Amino acid sequence: MSIVKRISENQAVEIINNIKGSPIMGITQRTFPKLLKKDRVTKDPANFEQNDIAKLTETTIKVGSEYVTRVLNELAREHKSETEYKQGINTNPIDKLVKNGILGRSQKNGKLMFEYGTLPNVKPTVKYLFNKGLIEKNNIGDILPVRKPATNQGTYKEIQIRKVYFINILDFTINGIKYLITR
C-alpha cells in the first residue's frame, strides 16, 4: 500500500515540475464530457444537461513524452519511414512551465494544463457520476463523445497524448506516494 499525502494545488505543481526523467505515474481525473442534445441512435432528447455527467478516469501514464518523438519512435519500431507521419495542427498548444515538463499554460486561455502520454498496454478505469453517485454508461444513452483514432500517424499502434486542465486532476501517484490535491 502506498503512502497518502494531502497537498495544495501549489504544492502539486511544485512536485510535478520537479519530476526528473520519464517515470510512470498514476492519475485520477474528473472531467465533464460535452454531451449531445439528442441520442445519436434513437434521436430522442438527452435526459441530461451539460455538466450533469462527470467522467472519472484512473490511469497509469508516462511522464515527459513528446508526441512527435513518440510517433517517430513508433514508426522506427515498425520499420516504417518518417514520411508516413502527416503532422496535424495542435489545437491547444501549451507553454511548458519547465523544460520537458508536463504542466503548462494554454495559449488559448492561460489556464494551467496537464499533458501526458498514455501507455498502450494500460486500459484506464472509467466511471461516470450523476448527482454525486455512480451511473452505468448504458443508462446515459448515446450522448457521450465518440473518440476517433488518429489517422495521420502512419503507425499500427496509435500514440496518444492527452491534455487536461489541471483543475481536473484529483490525485496522482509517483514513487509509491499518492498525492491528494486539496482545493
Question: DSSP for 92-107?
Answer: S-EEESSTT-SEEEET
The pLDDT of residue 2 is 67
Residue 12 backbone phi and psi in degrees, to 5: -60, -45
Number of domains into which the chain is organized: 1
Determine the Cα–Cα distance for residues 119 and 137; give it in Å rounded to an integer.
23
Determine the Cα–Cα distance for residues 79 and 157; give it in Å rounded to an integer.
13
**Domain containing residue 150:** 3-182
Q: Could you read off the pLDDT tens digit of each residue along the chain, which spans 183 residues?
A: 569 999 999 999 999 999 988 889 999 999 999 999 999 999 999 999 999 999 999 999 988 768 888 899 999 999 999 999 998 888 889 999 998 789 999 999 999 999 998 887 899 999 999 998 999 999 999 999 998 888 899 998 888 889 999 999 999 999 999 999 999
At which residue does the C-alpha cell 483543475 appear?
Answer: 167
Determine the Cα–Cα distance for residues 22 and 45; give it in Å rounded to an integer.
45
The pLDDT of residue 64 is 72
Dihedral through CA 102, CA 107, CA 110, CA 116, nearest 10? -20
